[in-house]
Amino acid sequence: MAPKSLLYTLFSTLSVALAASIPQTDYDVIVVGGGPAGLSTLSSLGRMRRRTVMFDSGEYRNAPTREMHDVIGNDGTPPAQFRALARQQISKYNSTSVLDIKIDSITPIEDTAANTSYFRAIDANGTQYTSRKVVLGTGLVDLIPDVPGLREAWGKGIWWCPWCDGYEHRDESLGILGGLPDVVGSVLETHTLYSDIIAFTNGTYTPANEVTLAAKYPNWQKQLEAWDVRIDNRSIASIERVQNGDDHRDETGRQFDIFRVHFTDGSTVERNTFITNYPTAQRSTLPDELSLVMVDDKIDTTDYTGMRTSAPGVYAVGDCNSDGSTNVPHAMFSGKRAGVYVHVEMSREESNAAISKRDFNRRTLEKQTERMVGNEMEKLWKRVLDMHRE
Ligand SMILES: Cc1cc2nc3c(=O)[nH]c(=O)nc-3n(C[C@H](O)[C@H](O)[C@H](O)COP(=O)(O)OP(=O)(O)OC[C@H]3O[C@@H](n4cnc5c(N)ncnc54)[C@H](O)[C@@H]3O)c2cc1C
Ligand SMILES: *[C@@H]1O[C@H](CO)[C@@H](O)[C@H](O)[C@H]1NC(C)=O
Ligand SMILES: *[C@@H]1O[C@H](CO)[C@@H](O)[C@H](O)[C@H]1NC(C)=O
Ligand SMILES: *[C@@H]1O[C@H](CO)[C@@H](O)[C@H](O)[C@H]1NC(C)=O
Ligand SMILES: *[C@@H]1O[C@H](CO)[C@@H](O)[C@H](O)[C@H]1NC(C)=O
Ligand SMILES: *[C@@H]1O[C@H](CO)[C@@H](O)[C@H](O)[C@H]1NC(C)=O
């Protein structure tokens, strides 16, 4: 019958056209980064059966550290072990996958015909992947100066985060590395752990830096005196390891490293451990490539909810975002948070698409029915009325 096949054609055309408002992609979500932030997003999305792939180039910020701390339930766990267990547990959610490769580029694609957009990522092998959303957990890199001995000791007796590494060196002799303006901050963070503190300002004890420090702490000199902090302004040539705390620990978890600082004038001084103040930078060029709004070189998520960024569909989690918190618990929290928001955002889109499809179908059906059977109905109705009159 002609009307039936007409309806059928109409319906199938409609379904195809409107389903396209949810883009047909390889994945729901591409997560870039396999640290605690990316892993948390992957876990959260996997448990909601979202098709999610996590890319991991294997460059982890805490890779050099002996053990991680201040991560409850995992105090003292080596980071590699932590990540491996996370991957193993997440692997049972079979809508997730992990690819150990670097993502070289991510491009937002506008499909104007279907009134929708999605992302295309290309990995280091040139393979392309598409997704509806992108979560960046690409992390930071520490910009450690090229001073002989320093980088080798990074995370192994020389550290930047007292919560991460300070306690294992408690009551040992501490050195502060970095510029004069950062000295008071380092002391305030560590004075409960150390009483023998020397700030090695390495030539930065200058009038200009005194002004900078005084702007933040007008009585900075008195504060340093209060904690018996000495300033050593000699220029540092190298840092030599004399003893490795890996092999010198006690049963309480204390690590006994010894370093010898060599100054350019040939003199030396020994310290057990150092806190540093060096800058960081984005690990990845993807935030730049996606033209994300940045705050102090961090991806701005502060001005948006749910770890969203300035770019629709792009989220940023962990160290790389502007939360001002760079540690494993924050990476897990923010990764998890994005996982929730990205899932619900997609669900909302799916829900809207389903509603508009239904509405559209019903309206069209009514019109078509009216047009096709309208005349017949009128005749029938008249006949019914006539019958009643009789
Ligand atoms: C020496 C040291 C010790 C630390 N100790 C502690 C500690 O004890 N406790 C604590 O809470 N915090 C510690 N931290 C901080 C902790 O390392 C970070 O807060 C945490 O790693 C942040 O997690 P993330 O997932 O954001 O980034 P990361 O762990 O740095 O992971 C970044 C991920 O992104 C990937 N990636 C980047 N670009 C790309 C790309 N283009 N394609 C594919 N993959 C990409 C990397 O390969 C990596 O998988 C320490 C940091 C350092 C430097
Ligand atoms: C995942 O597992 C379920 C059974 O738990 C199965 O129905 C589904 O097809 C699997 N999906 C994939 C992508 O393998
Ligand atoms: C495109 O989709 C958006 C919702 O994602 C909607 O607000 C807008 O009206 C649509 N535009 C057209 C031309 O259909
Ligand atoms: C990338 O290419 C190399 C070399 O061909 C291959 O071994 C590797 O499995 C590829 N990785 C991915 C994720 O496709
Ligand atoms: C000491 O200062 C010099 C000169 O500015 C710099 O190159 C070097 O990296 C600094 N050393 C340390 C340990 O910060
Ligand atoms: C610290 O060292 C720098 C560089 O050698 C020098 O200019 C400055 O005067 C020194 N500061 C003090 C207080 O001696």
Q: pLDDT, tens digit, for every residue of 278-318?
A: 999 999 999 999 999 999 999 999 999 999 999 999 999 99
pLDDT value at residue 361: 65
Write down the CATH number for the domain with range 151-277.
Answer: 3.50.50.60
Strand, helix or coil at 227? coil
For ligand 2, atom 2, the nearest C-alpha belongs to 94
Give the CATH fold of the 4-142+280-351 domain. Answer: FAD/NAD(P)-binding domain (3.50.50)
Strand, helix or coil at 276? strand
pLDDT value at residue 1: 37
What residues does 177 pair with on adjacent strands? 200, 276
The radius of gyration of the chain's CA atoms, rounded to the nearest angstrom, is 31
Per-residue pLDDT, averaged over 372-383, amounts to 69
Residue with tokens 């805490």: 62
Angle between helices 79-90 and 36-47 (to 10 degrees): 10
Same topology between domain 4-142+280-351 and domain 151-277: yes
Burial group, residue 1, by CB count within 10 angstroms (0-12, 13-18, 19+): exposed
Lowest mean pLDDT among 246-260, 270-284, 344-358: 344-358
- 148 vs 4, 34, 83, 89, CA distance in Å? 82, 30, 31, 40
Domain residue ranges of the chain, discontinuous segments joined by +: 4-142+280-351, 151-277
E strands, 143-205, are: 158-159, 174-177, 197-200
pLDDT value at residue 57: 98
Compute how many other C-beta atoms are within 10 angstroms of the C-beta atom of residue 82: 19
Q: Which ligand 4 atom sits closest to the C-alpha of 101?
A: 13
Per the CB < 8 A criterion, the answer to whether 240 and 262 are in contact is yes
Q: Is the CB of 101 under 6 A from ligand 4?
A: yes
pLDDT tens digit sequence for 23-82 = 999 999 999 999 999 999 999 999 999 999 999 999 999 999 999 999 999 999 999 999
Per-residue pLDDT, averaged over 182-210, amounts to 98
Per the CB < 8 A criterion, the answer to whether 196 and 297 are in contact is no
What mean pLDDT is reported for the chain? 92
**Ligand 3 centroid to 302 CA: how many Å?**
27
Residue with tokens 């490769």: 101
**140: its two tokens:** 């930071």
Find the residues whose C-beta lies inside 6 A of ligand 2: 94-95
pLDDT value at residue 17: 47
Residues near 159 by Cβ (< 8 Å), separated by ≥ 6? 65, 165, 166, 273, 274, 275, 276
Residues near 78 by Cβ (< 8 Å), separated by ≥ 6? 66, 67, 68
- Distance (Å, whole) CA 149 – CA 132: 46
**Ligand 2 centroid to 94 CA: how many Å?**
6
Closest CA to 29 of 40, 44, 45, 18: 45
Which of 180, 183, 202 to probe ligand 5 with, by most ligand atoms within 8 A of CB?
202
**279: its two tokens:** 């800058």
Burial group, residue 250, by CB count within 10 angstroms (0-12, 13-18, 19+): exposed
pLDDT tens digit sequence for 92-116 = 999 999 999 999 999 999 988 888 8
Q: Is the pLDDT of residue 3 over 60?
A: no
Residue with tokens 């961090």: 298
Compute how many other C-beta atoms are within 10 angstroms of the C-beta atom of residue 247: 9
**Ligand 5 centroid to 197 CA: how many Å?**
19
**Ligand 3 centroid to 112 CA: how many Å?**
10
Closest CA to 328 of 32, 34, 33, 35: 35
- State the pLDDT confidence band at 374, using cuts at 50, 70 and 90: low
Q: Which ligand is nearest to the CA of 206?
A: 6
Residue 111 DSSP one-character state: E
Q: Which ligand 5 atom sits closest to the C-alpha of 150?
A: 13
**Ligand 6 centroid to 157 CA: how many Å?**
27
pLDDT cut 90: percent of the chain above it: 83
Helix (H) or strand (E) holding 271: strand 268-271
Per the CB < 8 A criterion, the answer to whether 171 and 190 are in contact is no
Q: Is the dihedral of CA 186, 189, 190, 195 positive or negative?
A: positive
pLDDT value at residue 114: 81
pLDDT value at residue 4: 47
pLDDT cut 70: percent of the chain above it: 88
- Distance (Å, whole) CA 129 – CA 122: 6
- Distance (Å, whole) CA 176 – CA 276: 6
Report the DSSP pairing between strands 128-136 and 314-316: parallel
pLDDT tens digit sequence for 149-186 = 999 999 999 999 999 999 999 999 999 999 999 999 99
- Distance (Å, whole) CA 72 – CA 67: 13
pLDDT tens digit sequence for 318-371 = 999 999 999 999 999 999 999 999 999 999 999 988 887 766 666 666 676 666
Helix (H) or strand (E) holding 360: helix 328-389
- State the pLDDT confidence band at 383, using cuts at 50, 70 and 90: confident
